[in-house]
Amino acid sequence: MSKRMTDLRFLIGLLFVIYGVILAVYGLVVNPPSFVTWNINFVWGLVLLVVGVCFLIWSRFEEKDDEE
Amino acid sequence: MDQTLLKTSLIDYVIIVIYFVFVIGIGFMVKNQMKTGEDFFLSGRSIPAWITALAFLSANLGALEVLGMAASGAQYGLLTTHYYWIGAIPAMLFLGIYMMPFYYATKIRSVPEYLKLRFNEASRAVNAVSFALMTVLTSGISLYAMALIFQVMVGWSLTTSILISAVVVMVYVGLGGLTSSIYNEVLQFFLIWIGLMLIPFLGLSELGGWEGMLQRLPESFGHVWANTGANGDNEMGIGWLGVTLGLGFALGFGYWTTDFLVVQRTLAARNLRAAQNTPVLASFFKMIVPVLVIVPGLIAAVLIPDLGKPGGPTYNLALPLLMERYYPPGLLGLGLTAMLASFMSGMAGNVTAFTTVWTYDIYQAYIKKDASEKHYISMGRWAIFVGILISIGTAYIAQSFSSIMDYMQTLFSMFNAPLFGTFLLGIFWKRATPWGGFWGLVLGVLSAFAMYFFLPEGTFFSEAAGNFWRAWWAWVITVVVTIVVSSFTKPKKDEELKGLVYGLTERPHYPNTRWYKRPGILAIIVLVILVVLNILFW
């Protein structure tokens, strides 16, 4: 099993990307009526996607072992 | 119940199920790292500071806390922030700067173990047994409370919610121990922000911003300190002295510095500096949590006029009612997932703390001393299983008492304030003797119970004020008894106290570390922000 799969930054990124895609697509396709005039599912899905991608990028960098 | 608060659709369930699959998956992935007892119970002391810091914070940010603080915000306004600012921050900084060197550097594995080294076996036993008992009971009661909320919100039966969440927690904690638990706490931290952040945002924009909202609320709702001059000037019935001594000092320090549920997260850090930074970094985030939990309470108080009134919905529904108002299907699933996640990670936190204390401080100490690492891990897994079964049982018992949750919270705080007195003297006064520590702790706890059961009703202005003052006096009694008993019993020798007592222990210094990684400097920054916040919202 790769080290990556137990890197928490990667796992958070993965979950947020999955959720972001689901919400954004659902917002685009179904766009259920809501309190606001804008497409809240789509917009928030994109936000999640961006956050998720940031975590994925961060997980590409080695986490430094801190000096004591 | 055929009428539910929220209308869920398929998409919401898809989002919730993905989360369940994900956390169980994490359990399977970290399972292979579990080789020794330290791996399982303390994550092999290898976790980076940012992760332990967020876990430290989330272990305390359970769903009950989220719903309860929103309710309190709707009922009392900004006064509720005392629980997040003065009631938490100074204590968290104290833990990081002054107490971590003793907890981490002595390589203890639990809070009771420190008591054994510093005082004696009897003090450890008292603390281990009372902590194990209270933790498993609290876990059961929050299990029940959460099931109740989900029944009202989405119509799941109590048994469904209780069984599903208990089984999921059992699987992932059983597989991956503390690491699983910590990973899920961090995941929950991000989920709860992303899942609930839209509520204060949409609420404030609907009400015309912060000022617009405050204009439509009673004057005292917008202040933290202005109305605490005399007891009873504010809805909460608390005065500044009770807030400072009781909440800020006795309760806050008691909880944050001695409760093994939170302390365990710091012990998982990879080195002493990371351990010190854990509560310090967490305090940065702690200060902004009110945006997520208390502000929605204020919003609900404006938008839902019959909230908390006879015939209207209870205060506890403040947050779910706002979800109903603002969240369409899809987003609703995300919000519900955030709440489920915070509830389950709260429960997982209780379970891991219980398991560690049971295995190290009761099982290894009194039942089976020299077994293999493998044996203790499997004992830990059994303890998780049994602990969760007891929690489920407690959940059903709790069903027959309506107000037991408040009582539990009160009882729980009665144990921590005296324990903090014992720790403070233990660490900073080397003359405190083993039996001084023991009797101080026991009589402190007993006196808290006595005050609770025997003081006539109406002694305190309000329940909150009662909690604050009871904690303060229990702390005072612990300190006085410890000092008196110590004065005529035999202290431990200096050599035995090395590393355990201030003055006999080398203090950590980090001269070669950059400033933003040094616990002392970060703590000063937090303190400045804390003062500014309190003045800003005076």
Q: Do the Cβ atoms of B328 and A16 come within 8 Å? A: no
Q: Which pLDDT tens digit goes with each residue over A51-62?
A: 999 989 888 887
Q: What is the dihedral of CA B425, B89, B182, B189, to 10 degrees?
A: 170
Quick check: B513 contacting A, CB < 8 Å? yes
Q: Which pLDDT tens digit goes with each residue over B507-527?
A: 777 777 777 778 878 888 888
CB-based contacts of B458: which residues, under 8 Å, 6+ apart? none
Reported confidence tier of residue B235, pLDDT bands at 50, 70, 90: low
pLDDT of residue A17: 93
pLDDT of residue B480: 92
What is the average pLDDT across B39-55?
83
Q: Higher-confidence residue: B537 or B327?
A: B327
Contact list, B272 vs chain A (CB under 8 Å): 68
Q: Higher-confidence residue: B213 or B231?
A: B213
Strand partners, B269: B47
Q: Which pLDDT tens digit goes with each residue over B273-285?
A: 888 888 898 888 8
Nearest Cα of chain A lies from the Cα of B273 at a distance, in angstroms, of 7
Mean pLDDT check: name the lowest of B239-248, B327-336, B464-473.
Answer: B239-248
- Pairwise CA distance, residues B485 & B475, whole Å: 16
pLDDT of residue B402: 52
Residue A68, pLDDT above cutoff 50: no
Q: Would you give the end-to-end CA distance of chain B in angstroms?
A: 44
Whether B269 contacts B45, CB under 8 Å: yes
Nearest to B328 among A1, A11, A34 (CB): A34
Nearest Cα of chain A lies from the Cα of B499 at a distance, in angstroms, of 18
Domains in chain A: boundaries: 3-60
pLDDT of residue A48: 92
* Secondary structure class of B47 (helix, strand, coil): strand
Q: Say how many CA atoms lie within 13 Å of B190 toward its Cβ.
A: 22
CB atoms within 10 A of CB B355: 31
Residue B269 has phi, psi (to 5 degrees) of -65, 160
**Inter-residue long-range contacts of B398-405, CB under 8 Å, 24+ positions, other chains counted:** B398/B140, B398/B141, B398/B144, B398/B145, B399/B144, B399/B158, B404/B141, B405/B64, B405/B141, B405/B142, B405/B145
CB atoms within 10 A of CB B538: 11
Quick check: A16 contacting B, CB < 8 Å? yes
Whether A57 contacts A10, CB under 8 Å: no
**DSSP-assigned letter for residue B245:** I
Burial of A9 (0-12, 13-18, 19+ CB in 10 A): buried
Nearest to A23 among B273, B331, B510 (CB): B331
Q: Which pLDDT tens digit goes with each residue over B119-161?
A: 888 888 888 888 888 888 788 877 887 787 788 778 888 888 8
- Pairwise CA distance, residues B533 & B224, whole Å: 10
* Secondary structure class of B269 (helix, strand, coil): strand
Q: Which pLDDT tens digit goes with each residue over B84-94?
A: 888 888 888 88
CB atoms within 10 A of CB B374: 11
- Pairwise CA distance, residues B469 & B342, whole Å: 30
Q: Which of B34-43, B303-312, B333-342 has the highest mean pLDDT?
A: B333-342
Q: Which of B7, B11, B16, B337 to mutate to test the interface with A (most CBs of A within 10 A)?
A: B11
pLDDT of residue A47: 92
Residue B115, pLDDT above cutoff 80: yes
- Pairwise CA distance, residues B53 & B37, whole Å: 22
Residue B387 has phi, psi (to 5 degrees) of -55, -40
pLDDT of residue B409: 66
Quick check: A62 contacting B, CB < 8 Å? no
Quick check: B194 contacting A, CB < 8 Å? yes
Quick check: B190 contacting A, CB < 8 Å? yes
Quick check: A29 contacting B, CB < 8 Å? no
Quick check: B409 contacting A, CB < 8 Å? no
Strand partners, B47: B269
Q: Which pLDDT tens digit goes with each residue over B398-448?
A: 766 555 556 666 777 788 888 888 988 888 888 888 898 899 999 998 998
pLDDT of residue B1: 40
Contact list, B194 vs chain A (CB under 8 Å): 16, 47-48, 51
Q: Do the Cβ atoms of A11 and B194 come within 8 Å? A: no
pLDDT of residue B350: 86
pLDDT of residue A54: 92
Q: Is the dihedral of CA A34, A35, A39, A45 positive or negative?
A: negative
- Tell me what percent of chain A is helix, strand and coil, each rounded to the nearest 5: 70, 0, 30
Contact list, B22 vs chain A (CB under 8 Å): 11, 15
Question: Among B46, B58, B56, which residue's Cα sits nearest to residue B96?
Answer: B56
Q: Which of B334, B337, B522 to mutate to test the interface with A (most CBs of A within 10 A)?
A: B334
Contact list, B183 vs chain A (CB under 8 Å): 8, 11
Q: Is the dihedral of CA B169, B170, B176, B178 positive or negative?
A: positive
CA-atom Rg of chain B in angstroms: 23
Reported confidence tier of residue A16, pLDDT bands at 50, 70, 90: very high
Q: Which of A21-25, A32-36, B426-430 has the highest mean pLDDT?
A: A21-25
Taking CA atoms, what residue in A is nearest to B15? A19
Q: What is the dihedral of CA B3, B76, B146, B52, to 10 degrees?
A: 140
What is the average pLDDT across B307-334?
83
Q: Which pLDDT tens digit goes with each residue over B444-503?
A: 989 988 888 777 776 676 777 777 888 888 889 999 999 898 888 888 888 877 878 887
CA-atom Rg of chain A in angstroms: 16
pLDDT of residue A1: 45
* Secondary structure class of B193 (helix, strand, coil): helix
Q: Which amino acid is at B102?
A: F
Quick check: B329 contacting A, CB < 8 Å? yes
Residue B371, pLDDT above cutoff 70: yes
CB-based contacts of B393: which residues, under 8 Å, 6+ apart? B140
Q: Which amino acid is at A48?
A: L
Quick check: A67 contacting B, CB < 8 Å? yes
Residue A8 has phi, psi (to 5 degrees) of -60, -35
Residue A66, pLDDT above cutoff 80: no
**DSSP-assigned letter for residue B45:** G
Is the complex ipTM more than 0.95? Answer: no
Q: Do the Cβ atoms of A11 and B30 come within 8 Å? A: no
Q: Which pLDDT tens digit goes with each residue over B250-278?
A: 778 888 888 888 888 888 888 888 888 88
**Helices B10-31 & B158-196 angle (0-180, nearest 10):** 90
Ordered by where they begin, the domains of chain B are: 10-401 (1.20.1730.10)
